[in-house]
């Protein structure tokens, strides 16, 4: 009998603790969650990362204007990227063309370059900017070395730790005068499909 009483007494002493165990677990979990939340809030927010974008039109490179228009070399092209790499710029963008492309394409002629069966209209020669002659010359110089300003700029920018993107102009109105015929600065599509032109803008 004594053993039964002792056993019952022991059970009664343990019963309250057993009844409160779920509550203890709940408060332990709650405290853990609060600790995690307050720890996260006490950390400073991550510093925002911003791009500093430089978009090069491409014509200053193809005309080599920073080097007084001399015949363009690979080192010259690199210099147009290098000078930007010494600044906070994070992203270098190079335009892919102006009226026509700056590189060899299966879809269109490069800027300043005529097709084999094309001739420029001598009557419109005064409208042809002398820059176009530089663009053609320098394009051909780089082609002889198997490259162009697009590839050179993109690769150089990456070498210098910058992002690199290729951009394009939209709705460029240079040389869009309908009275002007000069395939050095006008695409074959433009010349062959006047029905697709919009507006009446002087070039």
User: For residues 115 and 187, what is the distance between their CA atoms, to the nearest angstrom?
Assistant: 11
14 compared with 192, residue with greater pLDDT: 192
pLDDT of 61 > 90? The answer is yes
Q: Does residue 57 belong to any structural domain of this protein? A: yes
User: For residues 142 and 71, what is the distance between their CA atoms, to the nearest angstrom?
Assistant: 10
User: For residues 176 and 133, what is the distance between their CA atoms, to the nearest angstrom?
Assistant: 19
Q: Does residue 182 belong to any structural domain of this protein? A: yes
Q: Does residue 47 belong to any structural domain of this protein? A: no
The answer to which of 74-78, 96-100, 150-154 has the lowest mean pLDDT is 96-100
pLDDT of 56 > 80? The answer is yes
Q: Reduced to 3 DSSP states, what percent helix, strand and coil does the chain have, rounded to the nearest 5?
A: 50, 10, 40
- Could you give phi then psi for residue 112, rounded to 5 degrees? 85, -5
pLDDT at 156: 98
**Overall domain count for the chain:** 1
- Mean pLDDT, to the nearest integer, of 70-87? 97
Q: Does residue 14 belong to any structural domain of this protein? A: no
Per-residue pLDDT band for 49 (boundaries 50, 70, 90) equals confident
For the chain, first and last CA: distance in Å?
116
Q: Does residue 174 belong to any structural domain of this protein? A: yes
Sheet with 163-167, side-by-side order of all strands: 53-56, 91-95, 163-167
Tell me the percentage of the chain whose pLDDT exceeds 90: 46
183 within 8 A of 114, measured Cβ to Cβ: yes
Q: Look up the pTM and report it.
A: 0.72
148 compared with 48, residue with greater pLDDT: 148
Q: Does residue 163 belong to any structural domain of this protein? A: yes
The 8-class DSSP code of residue 72 comes to: P
Q: Does residue 89 belong to any structural domain of this protein? A: yes
The answer to which of 62-66, 125-129, 144-148, 177-181 has the lowest mean pLDDT is 125-129
Gyration radius (Cα) of the chain, Å? 35
Domain containing 57 equals 53-196
Q: Does residue 140 belong to any structural domain of this protein? A: yes
- Mean pLDDT, to the nearest integer, of 126-136? 80
């Amino acid at each position: 009998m004594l053993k039964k009483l002792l056993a019952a007494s022991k059970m009664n002493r343990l019963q309250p603790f057993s009844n409160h165990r779920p509550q203890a677990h709940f408060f332990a979990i709650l405290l853990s969650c609060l600790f995690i939340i307050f720890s996260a809030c006490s950390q400073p927010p991550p510093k925002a990362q911003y791009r500093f974008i430089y978009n090069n039109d491409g014509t200053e490179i193809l005309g080599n204007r920073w080097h007084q228009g001399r015949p363009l070399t690979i080192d010259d092209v690199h210099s147009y990227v290098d000078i930007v790499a010494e600044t906070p710029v994070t992203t270098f963008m190079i335009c892919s063309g102006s009226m026509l492309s700056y590189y060899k394409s299966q879809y269109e002629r490069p800027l300043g370059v005529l097709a084999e069966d094309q001739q420029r209209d001598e009557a419109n020669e005064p409208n042809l900017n002398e820059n176009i002659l530089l663009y053609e010359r320098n394009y051909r110089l780089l082609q002889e070395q198997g490259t162009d300003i697009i590839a050179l700029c993109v690769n150089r920018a990456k070498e210098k730790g910058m992002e690199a993107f290729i951009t394009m102009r939209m709705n460029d109105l240079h040389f869009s005068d309908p009275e002007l015929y000069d395939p050095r600065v006008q695409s074959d599509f433009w010349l062959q499909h006047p029905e697709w032109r919009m507006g009446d803008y002087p070039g």
